[in-house]
Structure 1
Amino acid sequence: MKKKNILIFASVYIPGVKGGGPIRSIKNIIDHLGDMYNFYVITSDRDIGDCESYKDIDKNSWQTIGQAKVFYISPEWYSIKNIKKLISSIDWDYMYLNSFFGYEFSIIPLIIAKRNKKISQKILLAPRGELDKGALNIKRNKKAIYIRLSKLLKLYNDVIWHATCEAEKKYIESIFGKKSHVHIASNLPTKLENINYIDNKIQKVENQLKVVFLSRISRKKNLKFAIETMRNLKGNVSFDIYGPIEDKHYWKECKSLINELPSNIKVEYKGVISNEKVKNTLEKYDLFYLPTHGENFGHVIMEAFLSSCPVLISDLTPWNNLETYKVGWDVPLRDKSVYTSILQRLINCGEDVYKDLAKCAYAYGIKKATNYDDIINHSRLFEI
């Protein structure tokens, strides 16, 4: 039987890292389903905010990357005419758009495809959390105008929506109506064959805590909140921050708070790391901390589990009831004092208590990563 062709538009793809979870979402789909479908990815030739293209890639031509054919577009090559040619050059069965608001790699391809597609061709769109309340509040007026215009033009009427959880489905339906065609398929984790299973965690020392924040530095990820919860901690805490500085003004606010912390709390910004280094990095810490305003999946949370690293996160992600499984905590953001209390308990505990947490986190990650139902459910996206 002939494999179906899946044409993906994504503003950033590997080896990019600044786009965060959406990059891994696409890579993981391809890694898991690459034997079942032919994947073609059209993307930018550089990471977000970079002036230069990736090294060791061929620009403006198809090349094989993993189990996909990838076309890295340079800014000078990009035009509506060239995008139209690219789309028509692939006999695609499904077009998959990895963003709602992305202009060059979502809105433009969508308009072109709707004007020229065959009846049998279908368009899928994954909003990647862009339609949740927290995300819509950022640049609210601009987004509201586009949503109203798109509804007036009926731009998304026959689109198949890919939601990653029930909450995201509700956000989509609240904007585009209950009759919207929404398919729920949870984001796929990193393929297990790409994970080193060796547990090489170093011992947890009593009265000390090594905490890591690994995400984009923006208001949505809520780094300021994390810093604020550390003000009154007793014991020695090292808090390392990794990730691209998406909002420079917000980072300035964070640095101001860092300067006010007591001497027993050491904070260091470590810069941006590649996806390949995430697991080895997380293994060095006692706790992964992300009090986010919302995640539609949170790939880095899954990677923390697979790194035997318990997590402290908000309750605004799909990862719930974590304390029940002894793998971490998901706490409402209104309960700031609870965050501080959990941090202090972790500081106080020794290796004997902590080891159980780390083992449970790893086992929980393995269980979630080997959920075959999620893979089947994802494949159904391309059979609708």
Structure 2
Amino acid sequence: MSSPIPSSPEQNVQHKVVVSTPYYVPAYLGGGPIQTLKALINAAPSEFKTRVVCTNHDLGKTAPLTDNPNRWIEVGPAQVQYVEGGIRSRIKALKETNDADLIYLNSLFNPRYSLLPMLLKRVGFWKKGALLIAPRGELDPGALALKTRKKKAFLTAFKLLRFHKSALWHASTSVEAAQIKKQFGDVTVLVRENETSLPQQAFSRPPRKAGPPRLLFVSRLDEKKGLHILLQSLKSIAAPLDLKIVGAFENSDYESRCRRHIEQLDDNISIEFSGPLERDNVLQSMQSADLLVFPTAGENFGHVIAEALSQSCPVMCSANTPWTNHLTDGGGFVVQQNTADAWRQSISEFVLLGSNSWVEASQSSGETYNIWRNEDKGTHVFTLAETSLKQN
């Protein structure tokens, strides 16, 4: 049986928020959305009391994150319930938050942690709570191009039920806001860049060790993130090159596809699969890499890009992220056409620059990060939501 929500000082609490999300820390295999959500909660003003309902395991794993599931546990400033036991346990956990003013969904398409709360809201679960949905790049054209049939069916039903009309939407950029409005028309979209817990200043690197260029790929290993494009691009590159791949494959078909590309590479290309790494180890890998390579089909934010720049690691990525201007201003390189041929040309050009230029690119990426990190990010999205609700 679930425990009651622990008491906490209420002097400053004016608003209660429940966050429904598939994964939360200490989970890390779900990538950037987990770290973004942690930073969002940590940065919330003191008048917001936040509770999180999530799964008691990491992406693709069965090992529990806590030995105390289905109970409220303090994790940073939030109360978190790591759920086991199926739909009844999820409903029970959500029912204990029925006094929430704001229901924040950290995904659009997730059936258990997004669709279920929407349905519960429709039947009166939260009498006064408003939905705030963060699609996390799921409405990007590149993302919608994958598993198209299922997503079209979901969006059709979603619109027929008119869930979109009664919700607020959290977009990380104006581009994502436009994508939301393209799908759902005249809806209320709050634009606020994602929070981050990264340092205020970029890591200052030690002198570079001699050797061939060291490339790094960090992400979930699925089609959207573009590892197959990267591996195809390495064919016919004659210079020695090291590539470290950090992440876990999400299905065996895609893994087989990528390994076939690796088998076709010449011996001058060294490939290392490290598997998934915890965040501190990811940052350490970035500290010694010459270039993060990321041919993603689309990102609403791209937390891994911010992480790389924070470690003074230059980034080469597709034009399908909000980082294009920062990278072209000195943080790295943008590959306009997200094809193997275009990536082959861009990587070849980077290799030909030589070690002195690689070091200069590293210094420039750190400077770009410092400028970005210290920009005024504006009002927290929870506050924006409460203000919008008062106005309407």
TM-score (norm 2): 0.89
Letter of the structure 2 residue corresponding to residue 182 of structure 1: V
Letter of the structure 1 residue corresponding to residue 366 of structure 2: Y
CA distance in 1, matches of 2:327, 2:107: 33
Q: Does 1:61 align with 2:71?
A: yes
- The residue number in structure 2 matching 1:345 is 349
Which residue, 101, 120, 141 being the options, matches 1:112?
A: 120
CA distance in 2, matches of 1:225, 1:174: 28
Count of aligned positions: 377
Shift of 1:334: 5.0
- The residue number in structure 1 matching 2:371 is 367
Letter of the structure 2 residue corresponding to residue 40 of structure 1: R
- The residue number in structure 2 matching 1:286 is 290
Letter of the structure 2 residue corresponding to residue 11 of structure 1: P
Shift of 1:52: 2.1
Q: 1:365 to 1:285 in 2, by over 3 A?
A: same
- The residue number in structure 2 matching 1:203 is 208
Q: 1:379 to 1:357 in 2, by over 3 A?
A: farther
Secondary structure at 1:239's aligned position in 2? strand
Secondary structure at 1:123's aligned position in 2? strand
- The residue number in structure 2 matching 1:181 is 188
Structure 1: runs of 5 or more not aligned: none
- The residue number in structure 1 matching 2:280 is 276
CA distance in 2, matches of 1:145, 1:81: 24
1:233-254 Cα offsets, whole Å, 9 max, x none, are 2322110101121132112111
Shift of 1:36: 4.6
User: Is the 8 Å Cα contact of residues 321 and 329 (structure 1) preserved in structure 2?
Assistant: no
Secondary structure at 1:41's aligned position in 2? strand
CA distance in 1, matches of 2:220, 2:165: 32
Secondary structure at 2:49's aligned position in 1? strand
- The residue number in structure 2 matching 1:9 is 20
- The residue number in structure 1 matching 2:176 is 168
Q: 1:127 to 1:13 in 2, by over 3 A?
A: same
- The residue number in structure 2 matching 1:255 is 259
Letter of the structure 1 residue corresponding to residue 38 of structure 2: K
Letter of the structure 1 residue corresponding to residue 249 of structure 2: I
- The residue number in structure 2 matching 1:51 is 62
Q: Does 1:26 align with 2:26?
A: no
1:263-303 Cα offsets, whole Å, 9 max, x none, are 10011211001123221121111000001111111000000
Deviates more, 1:147-156 or 1:256-265: 147-156
- The residue number in structure 2 matching 1:74 is 84
Q: 1:323 to 1:277 in 2, by over 3 A?
A: closer
- The residue number in structure 2 matching 1:230 is 234
Q: 1:58 to 1:368 in 2, by over 3 A?
A: farther
User: Is the 8 Å Cα contact of residues 31 and 191 (structure 1) preserved in structure 2?
Assistant: no
Secondary structure at 2:104's aligned position in 1? strand
CA distance in 1, matches of 2:325, 2:16: 39
Q: 1:51 to 1:249 in 2, by over 3 A?
A: same
Shift of 1:346: 2.8
Q: 1:67 to 1:202 in 2, by over 3 A?
A: farther
Q: 1:133 to 1:189 in 2, by over 3 A?
A: same
Which residue, 310, 317, 337 being the options, matches 1:313?
A: 317
User: Is the 8 Å Cα contact of residues 171 and 189 (structure 2) preserved in structure 1?
Assistant: yes
1:62-103 Cα offsets, whole Å, 9 max, x none, are 111112111110135744651452232xx3111101111111
Q: 1:63 to 1:312 in 2, by over 3 A?
A: same
Shift of 1:342: 3.0
Deviates more, 1:95-104 or 1:140-149: 140-149
1:211-236 Cα offsets, whole Å, 9 max, x none, are 00000111111111111211122322
Give the % identical residues: 27
User: Is the 8 Å Cα contact of residues 165 and 184 (structure 1) preserved in structure 2?
Assistant: yes
Shift of 1:349: 3.4
